Structure 1
Amino acid sequence: MSQDESPTLLRRQLGRFLRETRERQGLTIQHAAREVQLSYNALQRLEAGRTVNPRRQDVRELCSLYEVDADETERAVGLASRAAAARDEGGITSLGGLFSDAFNMYVGMERSARTLVSYQELIPGLLQTADYARGMISAFFADGNEEDIERRVQVRLERQIIVTRKASPLTLDVLLHESALHRVVGGPKVMSTQLRRLAEMSKLPNVSLRVHPFTAGSVWGLPAIPFVLLDFGTDSKGQPVEPPVVYLDGAMSSDLYLERPELVRRYHEFAEAVRRTALDTTTTRDLFRQVARRFDSGR
């Protein structure tokens, strides 16, 4: 176990896994709690990631009730152990993997988020076409077989439902550096189709998509680093469902998760600074179409 692991992130990931698995089985908290001899409040705390020392036996019995297979059960039990043993290192977490895939932590958070603010220098996964995603994944996993690459592409496309679903779609605020429009992924035809897709997605009421142009220069005199701010909304009492988190993609190293409120606030301030020098949504949409036409004409 890495000494950098955050107990709060681990507990939240475990709680998310248990809640989503229970819901897929069509069980209420009351029913599940009664079956494994937990109180309603105890199971609610466990699913919310607020149980300080989650008991492995409780997790194992819940997995049995939810008909989770043996491998996933052991991963969940292992996650409970790691959550109980981890120490709080001050709100900055480096994670190389949870369950079988390092990205599972982020995907779980993304799926639970109500608002996502992102600064990127490549087209973000939630807005990628299949061909753009295939080009990105094939380049990164150059030695991967075709079946594995296609599986990864499909997972990426399935994630996008949180943006387009009719019930409570994610509010998506993307600040995209202009370089992303010109960095060729998959060839000119793929880029043209991708940029036209962005123009259409930018019309959705829950999507704000703005380009930060080359002419804007650096923000705060510093080179910007891609990041994602995840906010999980509030409950019926106006309290945060989960604390917000900043995610920094580690690419070839470990991902970083920032939980400390002052760090989260700083990234909000940075995003606002980018907005002040970004193109407006209409000009951004026009630019997408303009660059797409250049790819079509081969210029």
Structure 2
Amino acid sequence: MSHQPDNPVPLFGSGPRRSLNPTAAGIVLGTELRRMRAERRLTATRAATLINASVSKVSRLERAESPPDPRDIEILADAYGVNPAERAQLRSLTRRAREPEWFDRYTDCAASWMQRLIALESDAVYYCAYEARLAPGLLQTPEYARQIISDGLRLSEGDRVEQRVLLRQERQRRFFGQPAPPVARFLLDESVLHRQVGTPAVMAGQLRKLLEYSDRPGVTLLVVPLNSSVVSNHGSMAHLRFASGGPPAMVFIEGDDDAMYYVKPDEVERRVEVMLRLSHEAAVPWRDSRAILLDALKRYEDG
């Protein structure tokens, strides 16, 4: 049962070490390269000259926005004077970062700006999401997801819709189906429960799933009521924290057709403060949230 105390979770911290997936390996590689360059007091321009590339390429490499070239990594390792252990780590991260991701077969169905979140969410040790418009993607039923995709993207029924539904189901399986899933906290604006997606039966099925997940160990689902005094300017936010040795903590903010990722500690902390206020000042406790969900379910079942 999820009646855990509503205590703030530290922004940063350690946890069990996990093997890095390709996206995480690329992020850690970029972070290490940026740290090594800064410690040697070398500019990005100097690093770009070393690998005969543009400054933007160095920037993309350090932000893990493009696949690393092993030759570039070797040249930079020489220039930074790394020790044998550091060189071995850089090589290992480079190899891993160049491997395909599990969702590559869904590339046509996943917006490029969503792919980093999809790659990292199941590897987090702590995941907190706030949703103001729709049920969280990690908690959507196939029927609810299918309706959103068909209506929102104006796609006709067929492979294009079903592939997107399958992607969401695979995300859920990888997130919740692993031996030690992330500790998850979902903050759901009450308006989501009033916004009918599809038929009453579709909504009833979605609410049953939300109730089911609210009872899972390690999962907390809280409702932010309509009369809350705490308001977010963003309709969809997620805070991810990783085990020691993994990527830095980050905040993902989704827009209408793009997203922003924040990893600098001050930027993360500023946005997580909003989520903590939503969680601990605005959201009602677990039992009250469950009662709100049950009331909404009854409305749709009666309708």
Same fold judged by TM-score > 0.5?
Answer: yes
1:277 counterpart (282, 286, 299): 282
2 CA distance for matches of 1:244 and 1:112?
12
Aligned counterpart, 1:41? 89
Q: Secondary structure at the match of 1:216?
A: coil
Structure 1: any 5+ residue segments left out of the alignment? 16-38, 50-58, 76-96, 236-240
- CA deviations 1:181-239 (Å, max 9, x no partner) are 111112211111111110110111111100000111333xx64542111111224xxxx
In 2 relative to 1, CA 194–143 (structure 1 residues): closer, same or farther, beyond 3 Å? closer
Aligned counterpart, 2:64? 10
Distance apart, 1:153 and its partner CA = 0.2
1:4-153 paired onto structure 2 within 5 Å: 6-10=60-64, 14=67, 40-46=88-94, 59=98, 101-121=112-132, 122-153=134-165
Structure number with the bigger relative contact order (C-alpha 8 A, sep ≥ 6) is 2
TM-score, scaled relative to structure 2: 0.66
**Letter paired with 2:64:** L
2 CA distance for matches of 1:46 and 1:166?
26
- CA deviations 1:66-117 (Å, max 9, x no partner) are 9x9xxx8xx9xxxxxxxxxxxxxxxxxxxxx9x9844222211213222111
1 CA distance for matches of 2:60 and 2:205?
40
**Letter paired with 1:140:** G
- CA deviations 1:168-191 (Å, max 9, x no partner) are 112111111000111111221111
Distance apart, 1:249 and its partner CA = 1.3
TM-score, scaled relative to structure 1: 0.66
Flag as ranges the 4+ runs of structure 1 deviating above 3 A: 3-9, 99-102, 222-225
2 CA distance for matches of 1:8 and 1:153?
33
1 CA distance for matches of 2:294 and 2:90?
53
Supply the RMSD in Å over aligned alpha carbons.
3.2
**Letter paired with 1:279:** V
Are the counterparts in 2 of residues 163 and 172 from structure 1 also a CA contact under 8 Å? no
Are the counterparts in 2 of residues 137 and 149 from structure 1 also a CA contact under 8 Å? yes
Identical pairs, percent: 27
2 CA distance for matches of 1:164 and 1:117?
14
1 CA distance for matches of 2:260 and 2:120?
13
**Letter paired with 1:258:** Y
Distance apart, 1:287 and its partner CA = 1.3
1 CA distance for matches of 2:112 and 2:236?
21
Aligned counterpart, 1:230? 240
**Letter paired with 2:293:** F
Structure 2: any 5+ residue segments left out of the alignment? 1-53, 69-86
1:293 counterpart (275, 289, 298): 298
Are the counterparts in 1 of residues 149 and 155 from structure 2 also a CA contact under 8 Å? no
Deviates more, 1:173-182 or 1:278-287: 278-287
1:168 is the counterpart of 2:180: yes
